Structure 1
C-alpha cells in the first residue's frame, strides 16, 4: 500500500496534503454555520419585537376606544376630576370601581368586558413572547462566546453589527 522511500511512507505527505484543506473547510463551515444560526436568531428576535410592537399598538387602540366610548357616554354632571381620572385608567377593574360606572350604558360595560378579555390574552401572549426572547438571547450569548474564543472579539463585533442591522429594519 505504502511505498517506502528512505523509511517513510509516501502516502503520509499526500494524506496530510489532502487532510489540512479538509480540516480548514470543516472549521470554516462550522464558523459559517454558527453565523447562519445567529442570523436566524437575529431574524426571530426581530419578528418577536415586531409582534410585541403590534400587540402593544393593538391593545392601546382597544383602550383608546374604551376611553372614547366612556367619554361620550359619561354623564355631563359627573365631577370633572372624576371624569379625568376615569378616562386615564386602562384597567377594567379600576374603571368599575368608579361610582359613576354603575350608571353607564350596558354597551359600554360589554365593550369594557371585551377589552378586558383581550388585554388578559395579550398579557399572556406577551409573557410567552418575552420568554421566547430570553431564550433567543441566551442562545446568542452562547454563540457569541464560542465565536469570541475561536475567531476573536473583532468577529463578534462584526456579527453584533449584523444583529443591529436586522433589528433596525422596518417591521413587515
Structure 2
C-alpha cells in the first residue's frame, strides 16, 4: 500500500511538473503579448497627449495674436477648433500675422501625422485584442484562476512618461 501511495505521489509530482512545463511557454507568450499591448496602449495615450498639447499651444498663440475687437463668441469658436483647414476658413484668420499662420499650417501637418500614427497603433491594438480574446478562451478553461490576474494586467494604467510634462509644444519654438 505504501508503495502505491509513493508511486501515486511521485506520479502526481511528475504530472504537475509536466503540466507546469507545458503551461510555462504558453503563459509566457500571453504575458509577452499583454506587455506588447500595454506598450501600444501607452503609445496611444502619448499620441493623444501630444495632439492635445500641440493644439493647446497653437490656440494659446492664436488667442494672444487675435485682436481684442473680435467678438467673444467668435473667439471662443475659433479657439475650440483643432483643425488647420477649418481655422483657415474663419475670416479672422487673415488678421493673424504670417508666422502664426505658418505655425497653424505646420500644426495641421503634424496633427495629420499624429492621427495616422494613432490609427496605426489602434489597428495593432485591435489585432492584439482579437488574438488575446481567442487565447483567453483557452486559458479560462485550462487555468480559470489565472484569468482575473490576466484581465487586471490588461487594464493597468500607463505610467506617466517623462516626456508628458505639460510644456508648450515644440512647434512654437522652431
TM-score band, normalised by the shorter chain?
0.7 to 0.9
Contact 2:38 2:154 in 1 (8 A): no
1:88 to 80, 105, 128: 80
1:94-115 CA deviation, whole Å, 9 max, x = no partner? 1111111122111111000110
Q: Residues 1-172 of structure 1 correspond to what in structure 2 (within 5 A)?
A: 21=14, 25-151=17-143, 153-164=144-155, 167-168=156-157, 170-172=159-161
Provide runs of 4+ in structure 1 moved above 6 Å: none
Count of equivalent residues: 151
TM-score (norm 2): 0.77
Q: Higher relative contact order at CA 8 Å, sep ≥6: structure 1 or structure 2? A: 2
User: CA separation of 1:73/1:169 partners in 2, compared to 1, >3 Å: closer, same or farther?
Assistant: closer
Following superposition, the deviation at residue 63 of structure 1 comes to: 0.6
User: CA separation of 1:26/1:135 partners in 2, compared to 1, >3 Å: closer, same or farther?
Assistant: farther
- What 5-or-longer segments of structure 2 have no aligned partner? 1-9, 162-174
- What 5-or-longer segments of structure 1 have no aligned partner? 1-16
Contact 1:50 1:171 in 2 (8 A): no
